[in-house]
Chain A
């Protein structure tokens, strides 16, 4: 089977005999230029880490119901500092220039307001691979299915431990690229331990849709946990653990300090290579 660009990144890691690391950072935090620098570090462009395999760029939204306190805090500050929807395309270009595929993750109203077709067009022009839609289920996604078909963009939908078998099968059918399995019932944020809901969910997805690649997110905060997740999933998705060091750097008075982020990237990239 042929893979789309973001799925190809996951498949390439698989070919190396390991799971893929998907890293999330929001555009606009600590500032728009600051977020571009952080994204380059996430990609390993400083040559000090291998970098993540695929980047998930968050576009901050005023009412992010799926986000925990860490991502909320960064997103709120990004909005206060004037981040705009169009800034996400510059972030995509930055990630592409650093040699990694990029998907955007945002809430549906921002896409709808920009214009679904226009957003798909500009995302494709910037070199983006697709879109993760935390509050858009396939049932409401008619316009997005059409636009993502037209521009050959990945559409990554979420599945949850509470999803029925019918919904998992339907969502896998509607998706292109890969599926985002939300590992624990809850919003994003680092957990002390990952629950056993994740392997069970991935097992169900494998049985219902054997072809599709599965990334597991929500709850992974360090290399050990990432290593555990990629034993059963194709990719592990990490967000809050990359944002925390950025928030800490700002709190310490030097928002441009990327050392903490680099340490987190090193730990997590090593985790998926164990």
Chain B
């Protein structure tokens, strides 16, 4: 079910994807990062580790996830045939559990008893709280105050699962500040605590090991397409915040050049307005959260606050491997605005009876645009596009009520979108 070898030659032994990646962290964390890397390398070649992880994926998380063709939605995507990789059907409602189960088992191997995590939309926090409950570990989740307000349901879920949720009130009070606070906790607690980073970002080895735990998405896509259609996709697409579902969707196709790779970043109000979270399209090379990558920053290098209707994409950086894939041109990255994403959100609900996470709706909107563009550029072609539906939309209903002005609870829509 999962290939056990790292196929991509990158990163190098110090975690660099060419000029991107690396380890820009306090010395106090180096020993823990070295320990984590050594443990991951050992686990990665240990059949017993993968057997346990694959058992949990099947029996607990519900893998493999289906590949669902969505013809009524595809009517809006030019001549493209569109299939959704249903990561929303994982236990806890998103792809985040793929990585969390892997890192939680690593935590146990390292003999650590406590996990901490950062979360934006709350999906990674819920997944981490879930794994901590399953494996009997202590869990604390850092979440920006803005996000605890707009994702109150997920805060309650984490608490019900036994996790402590800390609302972070520093900086922009969103995902980046939650990461800062988690790093501070880790610097002080590294002896017994694992920092379970939720995306392909941060210092080496996180971008590499999170990619490997998310690789299962593309491995299954490839196998399912091969069985059902006996072919490769023409393109795969995913939304990109930090970029873990996208890298999971790309991983097994990176070395297959005939498969186009598309990542859709959060364009917020539009990249030209400056109110967005599109680090690749609207940022520049810098260092943030332990890695060199594309960052939203001002002339001095101070991080600029990102803006997106989607809490999970509201991050002013991006995983270093995405920066590398963008710089080399292997993958294509485009920004999708809040309005485009919400239109796609509604469209998938109405045409297919599937309510996507607003994060995933960015990928759907991108594919509508891509399909229509391909229909003009290659009028004879019927491209087969697989979109990673990274999560389900239940958590976003409050935001949708406010955005569409639905007659829900008055408190939920008169206040506008936080």
CA gap between A140 and B26 in the complex, in Å = 12
Shortest distance between the CB of B140 and any CB in chain A (Å): 16
Determine if A65 is an interface residue (Cβ-Cβ < 8 Å). yes
Q: Is B287 within 8 A of A112, CB to CB?
A: yes
Q: Is A163 within 8 A of B287, CB to CB?
A: no
Q: Which of A61, A65, A113, A139 contacts B23 (CB 8 A)?
A: A139
Q: Which of A84, A85, A137 contacts B27 (CB 8 A)?
A: A137
Q: Which of A63, A108, A109 contacts B176 (CB 8 A)?
A: A63
Q: Is A159 within 8 A of B24, CB to CB?
A: no
Determine if B375 is an interface residue (Cβ-Cβ < 8 Å). no
Q: Is B26 within 8 A of A135, CB to CB?
A: yes
Determine if B286 is an interface residue (Cβ-Cβ < 8 Å). yes
Determine if A145 is an interface residue (Cβ-Cβ < 8 Å). no
List 12 A-B residue pairs with CB atoms under 8 Å apart, sorted by A's residue number: A68-B184, A72-B170, A85-B301, A108-B287, A109-B301, A135-B24, A135-B26, A137-B27, A140-B24, A185-B188, A185-B189, A186-B188
Considering only residues 22-41 of chain B, those with a C-beta below 8 Å from chain A are: 22-32
CA gap between A105 and B287 in the complex, in Å = 16
Q: For the side of the interface on B, what is the size category?
A: 35 or more
Least CB separation from A187: chain B residue: B184
Determine if B369 is an interface residue (Cβ-Cβ < 8 Å). no
Determine if A110 is an interface residue (Cβ-Cβ < 8 Å). yes
Q: Which of B26, B188, B303 contacts A62 (CB 8 A)?
A: B303
CA gap between A35 and B119 in the complex, in Å = 36
Considering only residues 157-187 of chain A, those with a C-beta below 8 Å from chain B are: 157-164, 167, 171, 182, 184-187
B-contact 0/1 string along A46-66, CB 8 Å cutoff:
000000000000000111111
Least CB separation from A113: chain B residue: B301
Q: For the side of the interface on A, what is the size category?
A: 35 or more
Say whether, besides A84-B300, A113-B297, A185-B188, A134 and B26 are in contact (CB < 8 Å): yes
Report A-chain residues with C-beta under 8 Å of the C-beta of B197.
none
Q: Is B180 within 8 A of A63, CB to CB?
A: yes
Least CB separation from A66: chain B residue: B26
Q: Is B180 within 8 A of A65, CB to CB?
A: yes
Q: Is A85 within 8 A of B300, CB to CB?
A: yes
CB < 8 Å A-B pair total: 112
Least CB separation from B22: chain A residue: A140
Say whether, besides A61-B302, A109-B287, A140 and B27 are in contact (CB < 8 Å): no
Determine if B295 is an interface residue (Cβ-Cβ < 8 Å). yes
Determine if A270 is an interface residue (Cβ-Cβ < 8 Å). no
Shortest distance between the CB of A217 and any CB in chain B (Å): 12
Report A-chain residues with C-beta under 8 Å of the C-beta of B236.
none
Q: Is B301 within 8 A of A114, CB to CB?
A: yes
Q: Is A113 within 8 A of B28, CB to CB?
A: no
Report A-chain residues with C-beta under 8 Å of the C-beta of B189.
185
Known: A161-B28, A186-B188. 7 other contacts (CB 8 A): A61-B301, A66-B184, A110-B301, A135-B25, A135-B290, A163-B30, A167-B30
Determine if B289 is an interface residue (Cβ-Cβ < 8 Å). yes
Determine if B379 is an interface residue (Cβ-Cβ < 8 Å). no
Q: Which of B25, B188, B286 contacts A113 (CB 8 A)?
A: B286
Q: Is B295 within 8 A of A109, CB to CB?
A: yes
CA gap between A62 and B30 in the complex, in Å = 22
Determine if A256 is an interface residue (Cβ-Cβ < 8 Å). no
Q: Is B297 within 8 A of A109, CB to CB?
A: yes
Determine if B251 is an interface residue (Cβ-Cβ < 8 Å). no
